Amino acid sequence: MSEPFSVPVTVRGYETDVQGHLNQSVYLNYAEHARWSLLQAAGISQSALIGSGVGPVSLETTIRYKRELLAGDEVEVTCAFAWGEGKTFRIEQTVRKTDGTVAAEITAVGGLLDLKARKLVPGPQEYFRKLASDPGLFGL
Protein backbone atom coordinates (compact mmCIF):
# COMPACT_ATOMS: atom_id res chain seq x y z
CA MET A 1 0.00 0.00 0.00
CA SER A 2 1.31 3.45 -0.87
CA GLU A 3 1.81 6.27 1.59
CA PRO A 4 -1.25 8.43 2.19
CA PHE A 5 -1.47 11.91 0.70
CA SER A 6 0.19 14.51 2.95
CA VAL A 7 0.92 18.22 3.17
CA PRO A 8 3.66 20.00 5.11
CA VAL A 9 2.74 22.57 7.75
CA THR A 10 4.93 24.67 10.03
CA VAL A 11 3.41 25.56 13.40
CA ARG A 12 3.14 29.33 13.65
CA GLY A 13 3.61 31.19 16.92
CA TYR A 14 0.18 32.79 16.84
CA GLU A 15 -1.39 29.30 16.73
CA THR A 16 -0.04 28.40 20.17
CA ASP A 17 -1.80 28.78 23.50
CA VAL A 18 -0.65 30.18 26.84
CA GLN A 19 1.37 26.99 27.53
CA GLY A 20 3.24 27.42 24.26
CA HIS A 21 1.79 24.43 22.46
CA LEU A 22 -0.46 24.27 19.42
CA ASN A 23 -4.00 25.25 20.36
CA GLN A 24 -6.40 22.32 20.14
CA SER A 25 -8.70 23.98 17.59
CA VAL A 26 -5.84 24.51 15.14
CA TYR A 27 -5.55 20.75 14.61
CA LEU A 28 -8.94 20.97 12.90
CA ASN A 29 -7.61 23.68 10.60
CA TYR A 30 -4.61 21.55 9.69
CA ALA A 31 -6.87 18.56 8.97
CA GLU A 32 -9.17 20.68 6.80
CA HIS A 33 -6.19 22.12 4.94
CA ALA A 34 -4.94 18.60 4.14
CA ARG A 35 -8.40 17.50 2.93
CA TRP A 36 -8.81 20.45 0.57
CA SER A 37 -5.21 20.02 -0.62
CA LEU A 38 -5.99 16.39 -1.48
CA LEU A 39 -9.06 17.46 -3.47
CA GLN A 40 -6.99 20.05 -5.33
CA ALA A 41 -4.20 17.51 -6.04
CA ALA A 42 -6.84 15.10 -7.35
CA GLY A 43 -8.08 17.78 -9.74
CA ILE A 44 -11.23 18.88 -7.89
CA SER A 45 -11.58 22.58 -7.22
CA GLN A 46 -13.91 23.87 -4.55
CA SER A 47 -15.96 25.63 -7.24
CA ALA A 48 -16.24 22.45 -9.36
CA LEU A 49 -17.48 20.47 -6.38
CA ILE A 50 -20.08 23.10 -5.46
CA GLY A 51 -20.91 23.50 -9.17
CA SER A 52 -21.83 19.81 -9.32
CA GLY A 53 -24.57 20.50 -6.77
CA VAL A 54 -22.90 18.97 -3.72
CA GLY A 55 -20.77 20.19 -0.85
CA PRO A 56 -18.72 18.30 1.73
CA VAL A 57 -20.02 18.20 5.29
CA SER A 58 -18.38 17.08 8.49
CA LEU A 59 -20.55 14.87 10.67
CA GLU A 60 -18.10 13.86 13.39
CA THR A 61 -14.46 14.48 14.25
CA THR A 62 -12.31 12.78 16.86
CA ILE A 63 -8.83 14.04 17.72
CA ARG A 64 -6.38 11.98 19.76
CA TYR A 65 -3.56 14.20 20.99
CA LYS A 66 -0.32 12.23 21.35
CA ARG A 67 2.51 14.77 21.70
CA GLU A 68 2.63 18.54 21.97
CA LEU A 69 3.58 20.73 19.04
CA LEU A 70 5.49 24.00 19.55
CA ALA A 71 5.98 27.07 17.40
CA GLY A 72 8.40 26.27 14.59
CA ASP A 73 7.72 22.53 14.58
CA GLU A 74 7.41 21.13 11.09
CA VAL A 75 4.78 18.45 10.52
CA GLU A 76 3.19 16.41 7.77
CA VAL A 77 -0.59 16.09 7.84
CA THR A 78 -1.80 12.94 6.09
CA CYS A 79 -5.20 12.31 4.61
CA ALA A 80 -6.71 8.96 3.58
CA PHE A 81 -10.35 8.31 2.64
CA ALA A 82 -12.09 5.07 3.63
CA TRP A 83 -15.29 4.26 1.73
CA GLY A 84 -18.28 2.28 2.94
CA GLU A 85 -21.57 1.32 1.39
CA GLY A 86 -23.77 4.17 2.61
CA LYS A 87 -23.92 7.93 2.41
CA THR A 88 -20.87 8.63 4.57
CA PHE A 89 -17.13 8.10 4.38
CA ARG A 90 -14.31 8.15 6.89
CA ILE A 91 -11.15 10.22 6.69
CA GLU A 92 -8.11 9.07 8.66
CA GLN A 93 -5.45 11.70 9.29
CA THR A 94 -2.16 11.82 11.17
CA VAL A 95 -0.18 14.87 12.24
CA ARG A 96 3.44 13.67 12.31
CA LYS A 97 6.59 15.60 13.18
CA THR A 98 9.49 15.33 10.73
CA ASP A 99 11.30 13.01 13.18
CA GLY A 100 8.39 10.55 12.87
CA THR A 101 6.72 11.37 16.20
CA VAL A 102 2.94 11.24 15.93
CA ALA A 103 1.49 14.41 17.47
CA ALA A 104 -2.18 13.67 16.76
CA GLU A 105 -4.54 11.23 15.07
CA ILE A 106 -7.72 12.63 13.57
CA THR A 107 -10.67 10.55 12.42
CA ALA A 108 -13.57 12.26 10.68
CA VAL A 109 -16.88 11.09 9.30
CA GLY A 110 -18.14 13.10 6.35
CA GLY A 111 -20.60 13.09 3.53
CA LEU A 112 -21.67 15.08 0.52
CA LEU A 113 -24.71 17.29 0.92
CA ASP A 114 -27.10 17.80 -1.99
CA LEU A 115 -27.16 21.59 -1.95
CA LYS A 116 -30.79 21.82 -3.14
CA ALA A 117 -32.40 18.95 -1.20
CA ARG A 118 -30.16 19.57 1.87
CA LYS A 119 -29.72 15.81 2.35
CA LEU A 120 -26.71 13.52 2.08
CA VAL A 121 -26.25 11.94 -1.33
CA PRO A 122 -25.90 8.16 -1.62
CA GLY A 123 -22.57 6.84 -2.97
CA PRO A 124 -20.47 9.96 -2.40
CA GLN A 125 -17.42 8.19 -3.83
CA GLU A 126 -19.05 8.29 -7.27
CA TYR A 127 -19.01 12.10 -7.20
CA PHE A 128 -15.33 12.12 -6.29
CA ARG A 129 -14.56 9.49 -8.94
CA LYS A 130 -16.43 11.46 -11.63
CA LEU A 131 -14.92 14.85 -10.78
CA ALA A 132 -11.31 13.83 -10.06
CA SER A 133 -8.59 13.71 -12.67
CA ASP A 134 -6.72 11.41 -10.22
CA PRO A 135 -9.31 9.38 -8.25
CA GLY A 136 -6.50 7.17 -6.96
CA LEU A 137 -5.74 9.84 -4.35
CA PHE A 138 -9.12 8.97 -2.81
CA GLY A 139 -8.35 5.26 -2.87
CA LEU A 140 -10.77 4.81 -5.80
Cα separation, 139 vs 89, whole angstroms:
12
Q: Angle at CA 23, nearest 5°, toward 94 and 62?
A: 45
Domain layout of the chain by residue ranges? 5-138
Cα separation, 101 vs 6, whole angstroms:
15
Give the pLDDT confidence score for residue 1 in this predicted structure. 52
Give the pLDDT confidence score for residue 91 in this predicted structure. 98
96 sits in which H/E element: strand 88-97
Give the pLDDT confidence score for residue 2 in this predicted structure. 66
β-pair type (102-114, 88-97) = antiparallel
Give the pLDDT confidence score for residue 3 in this predicted structure. 83
Question: What stretches in the chain show pLDDT beneath 50?
Answer: none
For 5-138, CATH number?
3.10.129.10
Cα separation, 64 vs 121, whole angstroms:
29
Non-local CB neighbours of 56 within 8 Å, separated by 6+ positions? 35, 49, 110, 111, 112, 113
Give the pLDDT confidence score for residue 130 in this predicted structure. 94
